[in-house]
Structure 1
Amino acid sequence: MTIDRDGLRAPYQQLADILRERIASGDIPVGRRIPSHHELEAEFDISRNTIKKALDVLKGEGLLETAPGRGLFVKATPPAEG
């Protein structure tokens, strides 16, 4: 997947969508570390600020949790929908 810089959705929203889909599909399973900022920068050719905004969205949705000194991980218990 790529980021459409001319699309209607901001790049950080597109990245959040991509990562959300990878989590939902199991490509990034529960308990697994999210790719680093450096890895996401290289894969999508976007800035660290854009990546931070996307990850903040996913943390706000309760999909990610921080393990100090280790990185961001997919939460073991996804939030209930409703």
Structure 2
Amino acid sequence: MQVADLIAERIASGELAPETLIPSESRIQQEYGVARGTARRAVAQLVDRGLVVTIPQRGTYVRPQS
């Protein structure tokens, strides 16, 4: 939850702009020092919140704000 909140803050601040890739799960592991499962759950929470969308074999992108 904390990792998802930190990434959500980056999205809200504009650091991660709409339609840009968020860090990969492996990058999230490195940046935040968390396990792969934690990184995966953080991305899933962001998807559930409607902040990002995952496109298979392409990555996870910040959703455009409406």
TM-score computed with the length of structure 2 as normaliser: 0.92
More helix by share: 2
Residue identity over aligned pairs, in percent, reads 36
The match for 2:42 among 43, 54, 63 is 54
Q: Which runs of at least 4 in structure 1 moved beyond 2 Å after TM superposition? A: none
Tell me which amino acid in the other structure corresponds to 1:52.
R
Quick one: higher RCO (CA 8 Å, sep 6+), 1 or 2? 2
Gaps of 5+ in 2: none
Cα distance between partner residues in 2 of 1:37 and 1:51: 5
Please give the per-residue CA displacement for 1:39-62, whole angstroms capped at 9, x wherever unaligned.
Answer: 111111101100111111110111
The match for 2:7 among 12, 19, 23 is 19
Q: CA deviation at 1:77?
A: 3.4
Gaps of 5+ in 1: 1-12
What residue in structure 1 maps to residue 18 of structure 2?
30
- RMSD of the alignment, in Å? 1.1
Q: How many residues align?
A: 66
What residue in structure 2 maps to residue 69 of structure 1?
57
Q: Does 1:43 align with 2:31?
A: yes
Match of 2:38, SS state, is helix
Q: CA deviation at 1:37?
A: 1.1
Match of 1:51, SS state, is helix
